[in-house]
Amino acid sequence: MQTTTQQMQEKEMVNDILSMAKASMASYARAISECSNQNLRQTFQQMRDGDEKFQYQLYQVAEQKGYYNPAPTADDQVINQIKSQLQQGMSDITSPMGMR
């Protein structure tokens, strides 16, 4: 059985690692978007994918132990509205008029 101090230390470590994983994924995204070498780009994508899997697994452990409380789940109407807005934004960007 862990003491309260041990639980707090573990919680802090887990949250720190989750934050570092999120930061590394953002760095990979930036590197991928700026990389012109296809082999290097694929390597960054594989590294990002691995970090995403690790981050999600650690998130599940943190949630299970009560270290992390996610935001409430959005209802389907809100999700569909956001998806529609994002899709519209992407089509605006990729349309011939959006490409300058």
Beta strands in 1-100 (DSSP E): none
Q: Where are the domains of the chain?
A: 4-72
Task: Let me know if 28 is exposed, middle or buried by CB neighbors in 10 A (0-12, 13-18, 19+).
Answer: buried
Q: Please give the average per-residue pLDDT across 67-96, as a whole number.
A: 85
Q: Are 24 and 51 in contact (CB under 8 A)?
A: yes
22-26, 41-45, 95-99: least confidently modelled range? 95-99
pLDDT given for residue 97 in this prediction: 59
Distance CA 57, CA 28 (A): 19
Distance CA 88, CA 7 (A): 45
R_g (Cα) of the chain, nearest Å: 19
In this structure, the number of other CB atoms found within 10 A of the CB of residue 68 comes to: 16
pLDDT given for residue 2 in this prediction: 67
pTM, two decimal places = 0.65
Mean pLDDT of the chain: 87
